Chains A and B, each alone.
Chain A
């Protein structure tokens, strides 16, 4: 049984009469100890997909269809009680900005203890012991002193460590990390990424990593799903996707990404910009920006096609057709 199996997950935003598809038929699988990277630019639906996985879409204007199975149990439209038992315990989440996720007027120790006791009936002492253990595990210097500090007394990196400590108190099987290092400096980012890797190994924890940074993905993820305008355009093993990208969007992203080791001076941008949420083009959403657009591209959404390996899929009519692919390259 897979730890996490997502099939055709679709999330729609309904406002009055209008509705927009934020996530469109996303499928992925994730096993314990592995890291899956969800890559996409702003508005690609990567964060919304993660919220749907952890069951945090709520009962507002967002609604999910399709299937999210966690250890075999269906989470889409599951009972609030079922979700509550998993959230924070089996599935935990960390966010980009730890400052807005922490209470500024409560000390770190109390916040973690409160979070622990919200999930389990424990004495204060026991909860405190768990909090201390978690802070130690994330490599906080002097954990007992940290327990008494307030968020504003910590650096950005330390705050993110506190968030991670809070998330791993119960040794979750799945950690969803939404742009966990985007707000951090380079040297601190390196520390946090190393920590996430180590925790994943020590706790045999799966990590669903959401990021826009191809470098971070390359460093962390075993597998990748590339999202564009809510749709998965390519998925596969990290090395396969980055070394032999099959979708023109993935290729475009890689060409536009400045690399430190590359000596070419000119970057190759992707023309135009992603389509607005309410006005997605018919057919392939990338067609208006694609250099290799064919007449059929604007008529229907292409199906995923297997490339070099059966697990490496791209949703492009040119993918898989070796002759046209060669011409495109």
Chain B
């Protein structure tokens, strides 16, 4: 079945600034820092976009900003027109979230039935007398049994809880789902079950999915496009197979080479790029290109002043990808 591609989400110039942490002494605060800085992003219906980054890269903050869980300081977030107003409730109607820890995201003293009925009731998604039937349908759709509605979260394993969280997210049929590290707390054998479930739901409902993860391999399997974040900025966006084969940003290249590969055979062919040092703190984001302090290409090119002085924009390349590096061509040839 062919669908017309229409944008479900448009983010333009989005910035999120957090107040600085308490810095010793009363009322003293460190300078505010930018968790997100000028993010542009579009997502069309039925598309899965993977958001990759290490701790502190801002990937979770971006997800939260889109659902309205953190205040933004600049830029716009446009969700597709349609049912629901512009307020929090209207937004929740269009975009729902699945969180990382299924042990913390379900109410321990509500039965699964109550948990799933809540969004249906609040958003008046189905008539009151049809709620029970809808809950049973949802449970079956995510691979559980209707009678599970009477049980509490404690009766379920991590994988089953994540299924319940997914059922809750799709209950009111949002046009978009944000899944923030939904499988990183799960074992490999169960992880694949949940990934396939998310993929099936995206296809059959033609939902957009923003899949936030630190695991490139998982994202590679699930998403059509991948965006890579570093220190609150997007440094590269490209179709998944292009980005993983021919990265156009040195950070992406380093991430790819750091992925531990299962078969020793092809790992030995590649020479891993081991980045020096830690990710800089948000309080001291390096000048120019924020990645230059750890960049292997910067070192290889004899530390060009350009990288220290100017911030490379997220530029469009002819093959449909975007990257924020002055020397994108030299990344792949390295």
Contact = CB atoms under 8 A, between A and B. Distances in A.
A22 to B, nearest CB: 17
Contact of B263 (A187, A194, A242, A256): A242
A185 B256 contact: no
Contact of A186 (B187, B255, B265, B294): B255
A259 B187 contact: no
Interface in B237-275: 241, 244, 254-267, 272, 274-275
A254 B217 CA distance: 13
Given A42-B187, A187-B54, A258-B221, A267 B192 contact: yes
A187 B264 contact: no
Contacts of B157: 273
Interface in A36-74: 41-42
13 contacts: A41-B188, A155-B279, A186-B54, A187-B274, A212-B188, A215-B259, A218-B262, A239-B265, A253-B188, A258-B192, A258-B217, A258-B218, A258-B220
B278 to A, nearest CB: 4
A259 B264 contact: no
Contact of B264 (A188, A189, A238, A260): A238
A266 B294 CA distance: 35
A218 B278 contact: no
Contacts of A253: 188-189
B287 interface: no
Given A188-B278, A190-B275, A253-B188, A258 B195 contact: yes
Interface residues of A, number: 49
Interface string A186-216: 1111110110000000000000000011111
B235 to A, nearest CB: 13
Interface in A265-290: 265-271, 273-274
A243 interface: yes
B255 to A, nearest CB: 6
Contact of A269 (B193, B265, B278): B193
Q: Is the interface of B mostly helix, strand, loop or mixed?
A: helix
Nearest to A268: B192
A70 B266 CA distance: 35
A179 B3 CA distance: 45
Interface string B188-221: 1111110110010000000000000011111011
A120 interface: no
A52 B329 CA distance: 53
Contacts of B275: 187, 190-191
Interface of B: 54-55, 157, 159, 187-193, 195-196, 199, 214-218, 220-221, 241, 244, 254-267, 272, 274-275, 277-279, 294
B259 A187 contact: no
Contacts of B217: 215, 257-260
Contact of A218 (B189, B196, B257, B264): B264
* Most chain A beta-carbon contacts within 10 A, residue among B187, B259, B266: B187
A158 interface: yes
Contacts of B294: 187
Nearest to B57: A185
Given A185-B54, A259-B217, A273-B159, A190 B187 contact: no
Contacts of A309: none
Nearest to B183: A258
Given A185-B54, A238-B264, A265-B221, A260 B244 contact: yes
A236 interface: no
Contacts of A273: 157, 159, 189-190
Nearest to B193: A269
B274 A191 contact: yes
* Most chain B beta-carbon contacts within 10 A, residue among A155, A158, A190: A190
A327 to B, nearest CB: 23
Nearest to A289: B189
The 3 closest A-B pairs by CB, nearest first: A215-B260, A269-B192, A185-B54
Interface string A230-270: 00000000110011000000001111111111111111111
A239 B256 contact: no
Contacts of B266: 261
